Amino acid sequence: MTSLSYESSGVDYDQLDAFKRACQRAARTTAPLLAAHGYAEPAATRGESCYLIEAADHYLAHVEEGLGTKNLVADAVYAQQGLNFYREIAIDTVATIVNDLVTCGALPVSVAMHAAVGDSQWFADAARMQALVEGWAEGCRQAGAVWGGGETPTLKGIVAPEAIVLAGSAIGRIAPKSLRITGDVREGDAILFLASSGVQTNGLSLCRLIAERLPQGYATPLGHGAAGTYGEALLAPSVIYVNFVAECQRRGLKLGYVSHVTGHGWRKLMRLEEPFVYEITELRTSPPVFRFLQEMGPISQREMYATYNMGVGFAAYVAPELAEATLAAARDSGYDAWLAGTVKKEGSRKAVTVPPLNLSFEADTLQVR
């Protein structure tokens, strides 16, 4: 069997990226419209995970995000095993929105739901519908944001009859403005990792492809020392990292930069424009779900780290003298965190290196920001 890669699961990033670039070009032309509202577009907000709007004494933040295809896993596990994971799927959706928002230092104020179905019968299953509703509210609570409405259309002929598109948006705020996370990273900064709960919300197309090839599908025991099935492991709800950023703000701990580790796996660690080498030296054994994926694909170790979060959902770069205090802030606010490496300077080289695994990703492996 040949080794799997993310591209083999059918997502063509090239077409998508051409569209994204066209959007970014056109979107930039609208920036002058902010002036009439008393706002301005801050430098370097385009291409970040969250769009910022600058006022005299605060920033507003705007994010629109979607869950991707993870709910297809919940659909299959529900059909095959009768296990209802729609509460978890809703938390995932809120997580993907607010985790992008906090990367700029904005705390989510309001989160709105977008749930589009192909057939209004989707909501006839009261247990599933109620789980989705409760999960969305729970995600908002974990994010400290109000659930500010939403949209729930029936899109017959656009959305598959059994399916649902889960997405949404958030408004966030940074006040005072000094709390903005700007990418103020220097040689010698510490790299802090916050654990993920599993694959969270990325790389699911590949996970589904693997499930299709397994005789027991999602009901395959996970093994690797873990109880439960592959499906259950995939559906562990994402961690919401808002409270980590909020706690650092309360304690006056400056976060130089943070990265929400999603699509593109550890390559996302080099999102910053400025060239640095991010050297990861403190590795944990990767969680069972990733060892399962790597073995079942099979997927090369390089491809695993290029695609999945590998147990790391969020990374923060801080001045070395703040490293221990930031670690304490993370742990005190309930996160599993550790100091994982160091930011290095090697001229114009931009890369993520993992010496214990003899792995490195150079700048050209991350085209999208």
Cβ at position 225, least distance to a copy of itself in Å: 32
Query: HEC states along 8-31?
Result: HHCCCHHHHHHHHHHHHHHHHCCH
Beta strands in 55-120 (DSSP E): 59-66, 107-117
Cβ at position 74, least distance to a copy of itself in Å: 12
Q: With respect to a copy of itself, which residue has the nearer C-beta, 152 or 216?
A: 152
Helix, strand or coil for residue 315?
A: strand
The CA distance from 5 to 304, in Å, is 9
Q: With respect to a copy of itself, which residue has the nearer C-beta, 68 or 265?
A: 68
Q: With respect to a copy of itself, which residue has the nearer C-beta, 23 or 79?
A: 23
Cβ at position 130, least distance to a copy of itself in Å: 6
Q: With respect to a copy of itself, which residue has the nearer C-beta, 168 or 297?
A: 168
Token pair belonging to 108:
């989510």
CA 209, 213, 215 angle in degrees (round to 5)? 140
The CA distance from 110 to 81, in Å, is 35
Contact 337, 329 (CB under 8 A): no
Cβ at position 79, least distance to a copy of itself in Å: 13
CA 141, 146, 148 angle in degrees (round to 5)? 135
Cβ at position 150, least distance to a copy of itself in Å: 5
Q: With respect to a copy of itself, which residue has the nearer C-beta, 34 or 219?
A: 34
